[in-house]
Amino acid sequence: MKAVWRFFSSVKLAIFLFIVLTLASILGTLIPQQRTPAEFQAHYGNLSRLVTGLDLDRLYQSAWFIGLLLLFGLNLVVCSLTRLTPKLLRTFGSAWTVEARELASLKTKESFTRRSSLEAFVAAARAELGRRRFRVAAKSDSGRALLRARKHTLGLFGSDIVHLGVLVILAGGIVSGLGKYRSDVSVSEGQTVPVPARAISLRLDKFETEFYPTGTVKAWKSTVTIFEGGGPRLTRTIAVNHPLSYKGVVFYQSSYGWDWENPFLELRIKKKSDPAFLKAISLKLGGKAALDDGTEITAVRFLPDFVIGADNEPATRTWEPNNPAVLVEGYRKDARVFSGWIFAKYPEFTHFRDSGDMELAFELTSYQAPQFSVLQAASDPGAPVIWTGCVLLMLGLFFSFYWPPREIKLVLEAHEGPSVAVSAGGLASKGRDRFEEEFASIMAVLRRTS
């Protein structure tokens, strides 16, 4: 048991873990993470079995990496406890004493004799040390007085506060890992959708994209209304860097797009035989429009970025309207008389099938789709824990680097005359040059005391 404790409390284990965690982290940035097995097979060949076997493809989520982090945390806990208890006792315990011998062994020290009564000297020393923001404790008995003055005592515990901060951050990571909730909500303008796993729903009132004069995107903004218990609760605009928080769920602007399954289309129809004939019709997919001669026109399918796919079938390359095309069919008395793709940007490419002698010519003059916005709904109970850990971490770093603890001890002995024999010593682990100056100037004042 003792050996186990000693193993976990050793600084060598900490250093070993620093190095192993560093190397593992580097490995994770060299091997692409979160790819499919096929991609690994293509990239690494026979090595891919090794990569996936050791979870190197999802290294930071793997059991062994998390195990290393936990071991790191355990090492920190044991290390801190081992060091902290004696340190707390030494600092705050009431059983303290000062020996003249002990002072003589210090690097920063002075001794002198002063004409003064013991009480007057103690009072003067207390005043001078207090003026310099030292906290003074004193003990006296039969012609002898011991003084212990300290300041920046928290500096002694800087590293412990840092370690506590790191532990709290690790704990926050565990809380996040267990209790994190994330879900993408895709919603079109005017639509109301339920937020998964939460008793609220969300309506997109408006989505807009703002542009700079140069044409690059300036902002994506979703104006949404939250509904709970049947009624609207609040309306806000969400943008990148400006999430909306509602009862622990935070909504982020994550993505956007056009709902091309429900476009509003406008077509212009001409007759080859009659140059005076011109008719404009508006259509939705599945909708019908009738011409004077009884022909019914219907829009069957719309693709925003038309390509012929690998399987020789029409498909869309992207969701941007780069090459919009609509499949139009014509019916007369329920019999299909023509069918063909009409391209907004290339009207001359239109080619009709089953048409025989085609009288009509089409142009796709307008195509619009409702925009939808993708909002990420998330709640992370670990986040407040992480922020607490960060505050502790920064406080601890401040105390350990910029709050150097100082201690001055005095042994005073009353002699005939009256006079006081003074032995003084100072302790500072950091910033010793500055401390020696301060110590010397305190001693200079005390030497003048009467």
Partner 1 sequence: MNEPTFFLLAFLAYVLSALVYFGSQLFSKEKWAKTGFLLAVSGLAVHTLALAARTVKSGHAPFTNMYESISFLAWASALAYVLMEGKFKIRKTGPYVMLIVVALMAIASSPLMPKEATPLVPALQSYWLWLHVSVTLLGEAFFAVAFVSSLLFLRADARGRKPKGEEAARAAERNDAMSYRAIAVGFPLFTLGGLVFGMIWAYKAWGTYWSWDPKEVWSLITWLVFALYLHTRIVMGWKGRRSALIAVLGFLAALFTYFGVNYLLTGLHSYA
- Cα–Cα distance list, 41 to 49, 135, 195 (Å): 8, 68, 38
Identify any residues that bridge with 109 across adjacent strands, giving them in sequence order.
Answer: 425
**Is 51 or 326 the residue whose CB approaches partner 1 more closely?**
51
Minimum distance, C-beta of residue 251 to partner 1, in the bound complex (Å): 9
**Is 202 or 408 the residue whose CB approaches partner 1 more closely?**
202
**Is 380 or 413 the residue whose CB approaches partner 1 more closely?**
380
- Please, are residues 247 and 263 in contact by the beta-carbon 8 Å criterion? no
Strand runs labelled E in 213-303: 217-228, 231-239, 244-246, 249-258, 264-271, 278-283, 288-290, 296-303
Minimum distance, C-beta of residue 238 to partner 1, in the bound complex (Å): 11
Minimum distance, C-beta of residue 8 to partner 1, in the bound complex (Å): 15
Query: In Å, how far from its chain's centre is CA 283?
Result: 46
Q: Which stretch binds partner 1 (CB under 8 A): 91-99, 208-216, 225-233, 318-326?
A: 208-216
Identify any residues that bridge with 135 across adjacent strands, giving them in sequence order.
Answer: 150
Minimum distance, C-beta of residue 214 to partner 1, in the bound complex (Å): 7
**Is 114 or 163 the residue whose CB approaches partner 1 more closely?**
163
Residue ranges in 1-40 that form contacts with partner 1 under rule CB under 8 A: 11, 14-15, 18-19, 21-22, 25-26, 28-29, 33
**Is 176 or 350 the residue whose CB approaches partner 1 more closely?**
176
When binding is defined by CB under 8 A, the residue of 214, 273, 312, 450 that contacts partner 1 is 214
Q: Hey, what are 84's tokens? A: 């902290």
* Residue 184: Cβ within 10 Å count: 13
Minimum distance, C-beta of residue 11 to partner 1, in the bound complex (Å): 5
**Is 264 or 398 the residue whose CB approaches partner 1 more closely?**
398
**Is 379 or 423 the residue whose CB approaches partner 1 more closely?**
379
Element (H, E) at 415: strand 406-415
Tell me the C-alpha distance between 113 and 129, whole Å: 18
**Is 149 or 169 the residue whose CB approaches partner 1 more closely?**
169
Note every long-range contact of 380-384, with CB atoms under 8 Å and residues 24 or more positions apart, other chains counting: 380/176, 380/179, 380/180, 380/181, 380/250, 381/175, 381/176, 381/179, 381/180, 382/172, 382/173, 382/174, 382/175, 382/176, 382/177, 382/179, 382/180, 383/172, 383/176, 384/172
**Is 143 or 248 the residue whose CB approaches partner 1 more closely?**
248
> Taking CB under 8 A as the rule, which mask of x and - marks residues 375-414 in contact with partner 1?
-x-x-x--x--xx--x--xx--xx--x-------------
**Is 290 or 394 the residue whose CB approaches partner 1 more closely?**
394
When binding is defined by CB under 8 A, the residue of 218, 247, 336, 434 that contacts partner 1 is 218
Residue ranges in 58-87 that form contacts with partner 1 under rule CB under 8 A: 60
- Cα–Cα distance list, 119 to 99, 126, 423 (Å): 20, 11, 16
Judged by CB under 8 A, the number of residues near partner 1 is: 43
Minimum distance, C-beta of residue 24 to partner 1, in the bound complex (Å): 10
Q: Hey, what are 201's tokens? A: 């729903």
Alpha carbons within 13 A on the beta-carbon side of 363: 10
- Please, are residues 172 and 395 in contact by the beta-carbon 8 Å criterion? no
Minimum distance, C-beta of residue 227 to partner 1, in the bound complex (Å): 21
DSSP state letters, 80-141: HHHHHHHHHHHHH-S-----HHHHHTSSEEEEEEESS-HHHHHHHHHHHHHHTT-EEEEEEE
By CB under 8 A, residue 255 contacts partner 1: no
Q: CA 38, 44, 50, 54: dihedral to nearest 10 degrees?
A: -70
Minimum distance, C-beta of residue 434 to partner 1, in the bound complex (Å): 11
> Taking CB under 8 A as the rule, which mask of x and - marks residues 150-189 in contact with partner 1?
---------x-------------x--------x-------
Question: Which residues contact partner 1 by CB under 8 A?
Answer: 11, 14-15, 18-19, 21-22, 25-26, 28-29, 33, 60, 159, 173, 182, 212, 214, 216-220, 239-241, 243, 250, 252-254, 376, 378, 380, 383, 386-387, 390, 393-394, 397-398, 401
